[in-house]
Amino acid sequence: MKVNKIAVVGSGYVGLVAAACFAELGYSVVCVDNDLERVAALNRGEVPIHEQFLPELLERHRNHRLHFSGSLAEAVQSCSIIFVAVGTPPKDNGEADLSYVESVAREIAQNINGYKVIVEKSTVPVYTSNWIRRVMLLTAQAECEFDVVSNPEFLREGTAVTDFLYPDRIVVGADTPRAAKILRDLYSPLTSGSYYGSLDKIPEPDGITGPPPMIVTTAKSAELIKHASNAFLAMKISFINAVANICEEVGADIEQVAEGVGSDSRIGPRFLRAGIGYGGSCFPKDVAAFRAVALECGYEFGLLDEVMKINETQRQRFMKKIRTALWTLKGKKLGVLGLAFKGRTDDIRESPAIALVEELVAEGACVTAYDPAAMTRAQEALGTRIKFAESISQAAEGADALLILTDWDEFASLDLSQIRKQLRYPIVLDGRNLYSLEEMEAHGLMYVSVGRRASALKQLAKVG
């Protein structure tokens, strides 16, 4: 079957990036969302999320290869492949809420008019493909022909466009040869390398060595690959944070330890950065959902319990560092750099920075915060409980301490001499380890980070 038109249901981080990137690969795409205000904004050219290269792709393809619509029925009838990229928020018990996926499956079945490939792009637990198939068969008014495929995304917020166009691998979980071939053909601009020869391609990131491999599995295996991948990465972060805690107790340096561990080719350096824990829309939700899947299958996945426990504890340990450095928090003026869960995104979902700010406010601190991209979303979440600065300088001015909570590039190149002059007390608490102890001490700053010794005040007394 020749792919003539693609539908992407959902215009969130995954859906919007997927729709724009498929248009970039030369396909005609309609991105569907039931939020008509969002659809209207996208049709006006507004970009709802902070994502590198996404504005360029939307400007390049909007109203040409890429269209936005509120009608799923029309999209189903005009498209041969339908990607489902709607939200799967966690329930109270950690399970993924699949009600949005079910609703989309029902509407697809009600409007199906020929063979379709329904592709799970949302992160879903194992067996979801079976449930989609069952819902569609029960809903359809007449006999309908379709395949359900799992095609998990491995996109990192902040680099989602390049992650899509220059992936490590493409995973396709298809239970029929027909569906597998259609997905092979769909991704051929990437797997054949033809896209990479185009003159106006999105620039490739460092380290790209060739076209990505496609891994074809069963649908169940593909569903597990996504959850297992995110759980493993979350485990890697929690592991290095646990090691950082040991470093603090014995007087070692976590940066040196991580370099030694990460230099092992079997381990690698990525996700071995100690800090205040992981956040975002993926890791917390996916680890909890994977644990729930395991429990449902009768397996006690205790390792995931510990991963989540370490992540929560890490924030509390950093909060203790703040209390130790400042003695009391009530009435203290604190400058905060970073509100997003990580740099290069405006996403504050499950952000460790937001959690820490809320706790600081609850203990009576006066917080003035700055983030290069997440201010609007943070204002919606925090309201008037804190002040929002227009710059790094404004956040630091007159503060009793400066807290670095997100790893934005600009926070790693501060004018430390100026920061020292602006702070009421020369205290910097860095939850992302963006600086060396020696650099901070050279500028007369008391420096507290993660997994390393803190500056001694007697050493700072010698600074002019």
Tokens matching residue 442: 């050279």
CA-based nearest residue to 337, from 255, 269, 422: 422
**C-alpha pair distances (Å), 306 with each of 150, 235, 309, 313, 430:** 29, 9, 5, 10, 25
Write out the two tokens for 298.
């009768």
In whole angstroms, how far apart are CA 145 and each of 9, 80, 137, 431?
A: 20, 12, 9, 53
Cβ-proximal residues to 36 (8 Å cutoff; 6+ apart), any chain? 70
Q: Are strands 214-217 and 387-388 parallel, antiparallel or unpaired?
A: unpaired
Rounded Cα distance between 16 and 65, Å, is 14
Residues designated catalytic: 282
Give CA torsion, residues 318, 319, 321, 324, to 10 deg.
Answer: -170
Q: Which two tokens stand for residue 121?
A: 């792009």
Ramachandran quadrant class, 126 (left: phi over 0; alpha: psi -120 to 50; beta: rest): beta
Q: How far apart are CA 396 and CA 418, in angstroms?
A: 10
85 touches 6 (CB < 8 A): no
Q: The sheet that has 333-337: what strands, in order across it?
A: 387-388, 366-370, 333-337, 401-404, 427-430, 446-448
SS3 430: strand
Residues 272, 252 contacting (CB under 8 angstroms): no
User: DSSP strand E in 316-390: where?
Assistant: 333-337, 366-370, 387-388
Q: Are 406 and 273 in contact (CB under 8 A)?
A: no
Q: How many Å apart are CA 293 and CA 275, to the nearest integer?
A: 28
Tell whether the torsion through CA atoms of 23, 105, 12 and 191 is positive or negative. negative
331: left (phi over 0), alpha (psi -120 to 50) or beta: left
